[in-house]
Structure 1
Amino acid sequence: MRLTCPLCGERDLREFTYRGAALARPEGEAWGDDWHDYIHLRDNPAGESREYWAHSTGCAAVLLVTRDTRTHEVLGSALAKGGGA
């Protein structure tokens, strides 16, 4: 699989580190069911997924990558706002 870093161009997957699924973070800091779900529960969808990847052996940028989990086809990538997971 190859990922396109917006700063460095297309690169081999081995230059990147998976940082996790791009999930919406719950509001507030009080512990509740929403935080429990966010930390402990994960869907494993077949199909389009949004994930954070770090260009760890390159420019160190954190990317938001959209890909198909069935085929590993990369549908897009962009710099992540806020640094990712």
Structure 2
Amino acid sequence: MIIEHPLLGPRDASEFTYLGDAKLIDRPDWQSETAAQDFYEYGYLRDNPTGWHQELWFHEAGDRSWLVVTRNTVTHEIKSVELARNVARKRGRST
């Protein structure tokens, strides 16, 4: 599988480590009244979707950047690749 890195161009997937659901960018508020339950769900509950899914990938054998890859889990087709910091900014999170 080839991942089109936004800064470095096409890279083989073997350069990357898959880190899970991109929802991990949205860390719960530790001061919330429901923080314990929120962090339990954040840490332990994961969707296992079929079809299009946003995933976190780490460019371990390259520039060590974090990417959000929108990939079809059935066909492995990649729709988009963005720097995770840009996705976090769009979602209103600091990096």
Cα distance in 2 between the residues matched to 1:11 and 1:68 = 18
Which is further off, 23-32 or 34-43? 23-32
Structure 1 position 29, deviation (Å): 4.4
Say whether residues 1:48 and 2:23 are aligned partners: no
Deviations 1:24-43 (A, max 9, x none): 32122464222111111111
- Percent of matched pairs sharing the same residue: 44
State the one-letter code of the partner of 2:53. S
Say whether residues 1:13 and 2:13 are aligned partners: yes
Q: TM-score, normalised by structure 1?
A: 0.86
Alignment-derived partner of residue 39 in structure 2:
35
Deviations 1:21-68 (A, max 9, x none): 111321224642221111111110101111111111111111111111
Task: Show structure 1 runs of 5+ residues with no match.
Answer: none
Is the helix fraction higher in 1 or 2?
2
How many residue pairs align between the two structures?
Answer: 82
Cα distance in 2 between the residues matched to 1:33 and 1:75 = 33
State the one-letter code of the partner of 1:19. L
Task: Show structure 2 runs of 5+ residues with no match.
Answer: 86-94
RMSD: 1.4
Which is further off, 53-62 or 26-35? 26-35
State the one-letter code of the partner of 1:16. F
Which of structures 1 and 2 has the larger relative contact order (alpha carbons within 8 angstroms, sep 6+)?
Answer: 1
Cα distance in 2 between the residues matched to 1:54 and 1:37 = 23
Is the strand fraction higher in 1 or 2?
1
